[in-house]
Structures are given as structure tokens and as C-alpha cells.
């Protein structure tokens, strides 16, 4: 038997499971966004698409995007991967997400955008001069 607080929490959970944002079918005419994050033991990612047609304009203005989830991805690290440093873990979640959603991203008519909270990853695609 549940006490009143537990019953209220259970009813709230049931309500939230069937209300927005609910996954929607991908629209290959819209841009895809991949949001990634990693912890010490697992990775997670969300494949989203813009809610409105002016998401590209929002990116240029630096305003907040309104995204709607299309799919979720999560995985746990192997014991070897758990020993990676945070930079390698954050890059791994990007690579795994790209592999997982490759078919969606390949069929999209626009370039996709990867959103990460790890700012060091913004430099992985730029060549660096380490020494003279």
C-alpha cells in the first residue's frame, strides 16, 4: 500500500510518461541535432529536430533553440572505457551517437549539429601546432 505522497508521485509519473515531449517521427527535410553527455560510467545522447522552421536563424542570433526529441541513446562503459579521461569519454559519446544514428543523419537534407557541454571538444577538429 502506498502512502499519499507515494501515490501522488506515482500518479504524476504516469501523467508525465504520456505527455510531451513525446518522440516524433524524423522529418528528413529538417536539420538534426545531437545532444551528448558522458559520466564516469555511462553515456547518453538525444537525437532532436527543430520545432520551428527558423532554427537556423535562432542559431545565428544565439537564441535558445526549441528542439523536439526523435530518439534516445544510452550505453554503459566497459571496464577499459571507464579508465578513459573525461575528454576521451566525451568524444566517445559523440562517436557512438554518430554510429548509432548514421542512417538518420545520412538521409537528412541538412548538415547535423552536435551540441555538447564539454567545451574542449570544440577544438578536436582544428589542427594544433604543438611545438616548433
| Residues 102-124 pLDDT 10s | 999 999 899 999 988 776 665 55
Instruction: Write down the pLDDT at residue 100.
Output: 96
Residue 61: inside a domain, yes or no? Answer: yes
Residue 3: inside a domain, yes or no? Answer: no
Structural domains of the chain, count? 1
Q: Give dist(CA 119, CA 75) in Å, integer.
A: 22
Residue 113: inside a domain, yes or no? Answer: yes
Q: Is the pLDDT higher at 60 or at 81?
A: 81
Residue 74: inside a domain, yes or no? Answer: yes
Q: What is the pTM of this model?
A: 0.71
Instruction: Write down the pLDDT at residue 120.
Output: 63
Q: Residues 6 or more apart from 34 whose CB is under 8 A from it? A: 45, 46, 47, 48, 94, 97, 98, 101, 112, 113, 114, 115
Q: What is the CATH number of the domain that holds 71?
A: 3.10.20.370
Residue 8: inside a domain, yes or no? Answer: no
Instruction: Write down the pLDDT at residue 74.
Output: 94
Q: Scanning the structure block, which residue is given the C-alpha cell 566517445?
A: 92
Instruction: Write down the pLDDT at residue 75.
Output: 95
Instruction: Write down the pLDDT at residue 58.
Output: 58
Residue 85: inside a domain, yes or no? Answer: yes
68-94 tens-digit pLDDT: 899 999 999 999 999 998 888 999 999
Residue 57: inside a domain, yes or no? Answer: yes
Asked if residue 95 has pLDDT above 80, the reply is: yes
* Residue 66: domain span: 23-123
Residue 78: inside a domain, yes or no? Answer: yes
Task: Return mean pLDDT, the chain.
Answer: 84
Categorize the per-residue pLDDT at 14 as very low, low, confident or very high, splitting at 50, 70 and 90: confident
Amino acid at each position: 500500500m502506498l502512502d499519499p505522497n507515494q501515490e501522488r508521485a506515482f500518479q504524476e509519473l504516469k501523467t508525465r510518461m504520456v505527455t510531451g515531449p513525446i518522440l516524433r517521427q524524423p522529418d528528413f527535410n529538417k536539420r538534426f541535432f545531437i545532444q551528448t553527455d558522458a559520466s564516469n560510467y555511462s553515456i547518453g545522447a538525444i537525437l532532436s529536430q527543430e520545432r520551428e522552421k527558423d532554427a537556423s536563424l535562432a542559431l545565428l542570433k544565439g537564441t535558445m533553440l526549441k528542439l523536439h526529441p526523435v530518439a534516445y541513446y544510452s550505453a554503459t562503459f566497459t571496464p577499459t572505457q571507464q579508465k578513459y579521461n573525461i575528454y576521451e569519454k566525451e568524444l566517445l559519446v559523440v562517436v557512438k551517437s554518430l554510429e548509432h544514428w548514421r542512417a538518420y543523419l545520412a538521409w537528412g537534407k541538412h548538415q547535423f549539429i552536435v551540441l555538447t557541454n564539454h567545451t574542449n571538444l570544440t577544438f578536436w577538429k582544428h589542427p594544433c601546432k604543438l611545438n616548433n
